[in-house]
Amino acid sequence: MTELFTHNTAITGGADPLLSVRNVSNSYISRSFGLFGKKEIKPVLDNVNLDIAEGEIFGLSGESGCGKSTLARCILGLIDYEGEIFWSGQKGPQQGGQKQEQRPPALVQMVFQDPGASLSPSKKIGWLLEEPLVIHKRAPEERSRKVDEMLVRVGLDPSYKTRRVGELSGGQKQRVCIGRSLILEPKLLIADEAISALDVSVGAQILNLFRELHESLGLAILFISHNMDAAEYLCDRIAVMKNGKFNPFSNK
Ligand SMILES: Nc1ncnc2c1ncn2[C@@H]1O[C@H](COP(=O)(O)OP(=O)(O)O)[C@@H](O)[C@H]1O
Ligand SMILES: [Mg+2]
């Protein structure tokens, strides 16, 4: 049975969870055009509280524009926020715009909606999986072993190493994105609308892949989707967001 959160909090209590989001709020500042353009503050997240345990799949649903991706960016440390984020009880970075190496790759990685846009079509699959390991200065033997293992894990034949992105289907590209995100062994994968651009049957296969990865790797997943059916299929707990809050009126 899926547990659905109907208040602005999804706190589990107990020992330190993998991720704790506490009273996180944020606003975007935009300026209208022109010399005397007015500065406008647009509040997005409103005191969000959330825990994700090690190895848990947590669903975040809600209509487009409610703030789901903004919460993901706060968790990744990409943008500023008020409030606190803890990783296994340790306070996470609060400033946005950090350099890649200052973010916690061992803890969290993300896959996005459009796998085509995040992979250059001329790149070889083997290289895309290996690149994060090269950046993190892993030894060549380890890199080659991990790339082979990861292809199998994400359901691609090892011969795909030499293929180029442009030769793959949408579902296969998303498998490559997932493999690339997991190659540094994060504890949490954020999947932001990761099946929304795919055909229904292909999306269902990717949902099953998330479930397999969760079971075989003990991976925790923050599954963000406006598709409530998909979230209910995959997740143990779901929060529904509306206007930057977990929606107190949702009782689906
Ligand atoms: N960089 C930005 N600057 C200004 N406003 C933004 C920015 N990114 C998102 N927003 C606004 O913040 C709100 C939440 O956006 P987002 O988190 O992307 O929603 P969701 O992922 O739930 O569709 C929307 O109203 C959106 O227009
Ligand atoms: Mg979004």
| Per-residue pLDDT band at 31 (split at 50, 70, 90) | confident
178 located within any domain: yes
pLDDT of residue 98: 54
Please state the domain count of the chain: 1
Of the candidates 63, 54, 28, the residue with the CA atom closest to the CA atom of residue 42:
28
Pocket of ligand 1 (CB under 6 A): 28, 30, 42, 44, 64-70
0.75 cut: is pTM over it?
Answer: yes
Q: In this structure, what DSSP letter does residue 68 have?
A: H
- The answer as to whether 145 is a domain residue is yes
Tell me if 34 is assigned to some domain: no
pLDDT tens track for 6-19: 444 556 655 679 99
Q: What are phi and psi of 212, to 5 degrees?
A: -60, -45
- Identity of residue 172: Q
> Mind listing the pLDDT tens digit for each residue in 166-199?
999 999 999 999 999 999 999 999 999 999 999 9
The preferred substitution site among 28, 66, 246 for testing ligand 1, maximizing ligand atoms within 8 Å of CB, is 28
| Nearest CA, atom 5, ligand 1 | 28
pLDDT in tens, 118-172: 888 899 999 999 999 999 999 999 999 999 999 999 999 999 999 999 999 999 9
Tell me the β-bridge partners of 189: 109, 221
Does the pLDDT at position 105 exceed 90?
A: no
Flag whether 172 is in a domain: yes
Within a domain: residue 161?
A: yes
Instruction: Kindly identify the ligand whose nearest atom is closest to the C-alpha of 113.
Output: 2
The per-residue pLDDT for range 55-103, each reduced to its tens digit, is: 999 999 999 999 999 999 999 888 889 999 998 888 876 665 555 545 5
Q: Domain containing 155: what range?
A: 117-183
Q: Is residue 99 part of a domain?
A: no
Q: 36-47 burial string, b = 16+ CB within 10 Å, else e? A: eeeeeeeebbbe
CA gap 236, 145 in Å, rounded:
33
Q: Does any domain span residue 79? A: no
Decide if 122 is inside a domain: yes
The pocket of ion ligand 2, defined by CB under 5 A, consists of: 68-69
